[in-house]
């Protein structure tokens, strides 16, 4: 668990650029875009409750999504699928 003044999630410069590139894509599903925006907000130092408030998700859901991202879960960065939609 992060300390009081530490971000929920800390991206490396490379990961930050990958996230920005992914967010520029026009073929992202709304859910994938939302999860990437949560990652971006956490990296900027936003708290679970604040992210939950603007996303309309429960803090528990935000924790789970960010935890999955932080653990390197498959699908961390969106990739094109056969139909062109992640």
Q: Does 4 or 51 have the greater pLDDT score?
A: 51
Of 9, 7, 33, nearest in space to 85 by CA: 33
Give domain status of residue 77, yes or no: no
- pTM, two decimals, is 0.76
Domain count, the chain: 1
Give domain status of residue 78, yes or no: no
Give domain status of residue 8, yes or no: no
User: What is the per-residue pLDDT for 41?
Assistant: 94
Classify residue 50 as exposed, middle or buried by CB count within 10 Å of its CB (0-12, 13-18, 19+). middle
User: What is the per-residue pLDDT for 28?
Assistant: 87
Give domain status of residue 85, yes or no: no
Q: Quote the mean pLDDT of the chain.
A: 80
Which domain does 43 fall in, by range? 13-70
Q: Contact, 49 vs 11, CB < 8 A? A: no
- Whether the pLDDT of residue 54 is over 60: the answer is yes
Q: Does 72 or 40 have the greater pLDDT score?
A: 40
């Amino acid at each position: 668990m992060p300390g009081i003044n530490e971000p929920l999630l800390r991206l490396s410069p490379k990961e930050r650029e990958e996230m920005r590139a992914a967010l520029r894509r026009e073929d992202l599903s709304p859910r994938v875009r939302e999860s990437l925006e949560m990652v971006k907000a956490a990296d900027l130092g936003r708290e679970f409750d604040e992210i939950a408030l603007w996303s309309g998700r429960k803090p528990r859901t935000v924790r789970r999504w960010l935890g999955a991202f932080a653990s390197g879960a498959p699908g961390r960065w969106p990739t094109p699928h056969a139909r062109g939609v992640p």
